[in-house]
Homo-oligomer: A and B are copies of this chain.
């Protein structure tokens, strides 16, 4: 059964004094009013860490009650930072099954009331447990991915810095026009450069902020102007170190493949997209993973202004997570609310896109390991169906064939000591509760080819380290510690091999 969107709503994102259920009720009321409905058949409700952020559980029930929808079935859905998109997906199937007619999807998070170090610790719980023990945070992992991306595609650190700054500048510029955005100010490259280093090379302006907010959508089986064309969802190995590629996300690629197939659309059919820019580089990687631009070239499209509001493929017209804000549970659904505003022509004069008949949202859960891709379309859009060969989809061929490098975890545990190369690294300044700052973290590739996380609190600057250089690693109190391989460390640890250090 086809599924349509009959109502959307959201709160202004930012710092709010309201309790979470009140914010969510506000978003829900807007969406229900917009859909001209007073009651629904079910509620699917997304919150990521409500127990830890606000200390409540049984939140699905609490919300139904708060909304005055007592009695209505209410289910909480969670897929880490893609939770809003996950709730949308579950609700989509409920309507698509024919068992439900009108379903309210609701997502939110309240985060700003806690100290930043505590929020950082809660957010870090999505990370693989063994990496968390090193003090790894989401920005630290994203920073290591950024370093690797620059190395892999031959970008100097100045070039990388410029690309990241341009993403932040673009998204802040879009957010300036979005009445729901947390930050309604434009920024300059100078502002970017002055912003605090969070985890080298990522600055504060590379990271989506800590935000309160809620968003809501009403799904219906009754024909309405906006249609849900495709949904795809995929996971990946929780730990980045186990992945075959550090600079793209299999979970986006697999989710996109499913969404395009369900929608019978190709990347070239997509007119605009909301891409999960929790970290600036993730927008670039996202546009590559989604098949909009070739691998390693997403930044060129940015440089050529293609992804600007008036470009040929606008990315994050809302301002993205960067400027609209990132209440972790709500963002995945807020992206879809933005797509609906654009498809309806309701985005406001400055932000409204010229071509807005089909839009896509990509949402990332955890460090790229629970991702969803959703495609929405105007129901009145005339489809130009291509001639193709796919058996069960006559007249349509999927043009999207991303390279999916499947990770192969080694079955033997890595050695407790040895020589390896610095696959990538970061110096983390904003450490979580209980960790000294700064903290240098690295992925070290052992001689057998496995990757281990390692730390060294004595390297206080990223300038002390170099991508690809040889290091010595050793377990100490259950953690790997690394140091640069010098003549002295060779002698100390009795390492054989060429006398000359790399």
Question: Which B residues are in CB contact (< 8 Å) with A70?
Answer: 235-237, 406-407
Roughly how many angstroms separate A366 CA and B62 CA in the complex, as a whole number? 10
Find the B residue at minimum CB distance from A243.
B70
Roughly how many angstroms separate A370 CA and B56 CA in the complex, as a whole number? 15
A175 CB within 8 Å of chain B: no
Per the 8 Å Cβ criterion, residues 55-96 of A in contact with B are: 55-58, 60-62, 64-65, 69-80, 86, 89-90, 92-94, 96
A98 CB within 8 Å of chain B: yes
A51 CB within 8 Å of chain B: yes
Query: Once the chains bind, are B80 and A58 in contact (CB under 8 Å)?
Result: yes
Roughly how many angstroms separate A48 CA and B250 CA in the complex, as a whole number? 29
Query: Once the chains bind, are B90 and A97 in contact (CB under 8 Å)?
Result: no
A126 CB within 8 Å of chain B: yes
Roughly how many angstroms separate A76 CA and B370 CA in the complex, as a whole number? 11
Roughly how many angstroms separate A235 CA and B45 CA in the complex, as a whole number? 13
Question: Which B residues are in CB contact (< 8 Å) with A172?
Answer: none
A233 CB within 8 Å of chain B: yes
Query: Once the chains bind, are A233 and B73 in contact (CB under 8 Å)?
Result: yes
Roughly how many angstroms separate A328 CA and B202 CA in the complex, as a whole number? 41
- State how many angstroms separate the Cβ of A270 from the closest Cβ of chain B: 21
Given contacts A60-B79, A61-B370, A97-B1, whether A74 and B235 have CB atoms under 8 Å apart is yes
Question: Which B residues are in CB contact (< 8 Å) with A128?
Answer: 62
Which among A75, A251, A254 has the highest number of chain B CB atoms within 10 Å? A75
Per the 8 Å Cβ criterion, residues 87-140 of A in contact with B are: 89-90, 92-94, 96-100, 122, 125-129
Query: Once the chains bind, are A238 and B58 in contact (CB under 8 Å)?
Result: yes
Query: Once the chains bind, are B99 and A262 in contact (CB under 8 Å)?
Result: yes
Q: Kindly list the 6 A-B residue pairs having the minimum CB-CB distance in the complex, ordered from nearest.
A: A73-B233, A58-B126, A96-B97, A58-B80, A57-B125, A76-B78
Complex A-B: 21 CB contacts under 8 Å: A42-B233, A48-B57, A52-B52, A56-B129, A58-B365, A60-B80, A60-B370, A61-B369, A61-B370, A65-B237, A69-B235, A70-B236, A72-B235, A75-B78, A75-B79, A76-B77, A90-B93, A92-B97, A93-B94, A94-B97, A97-B97
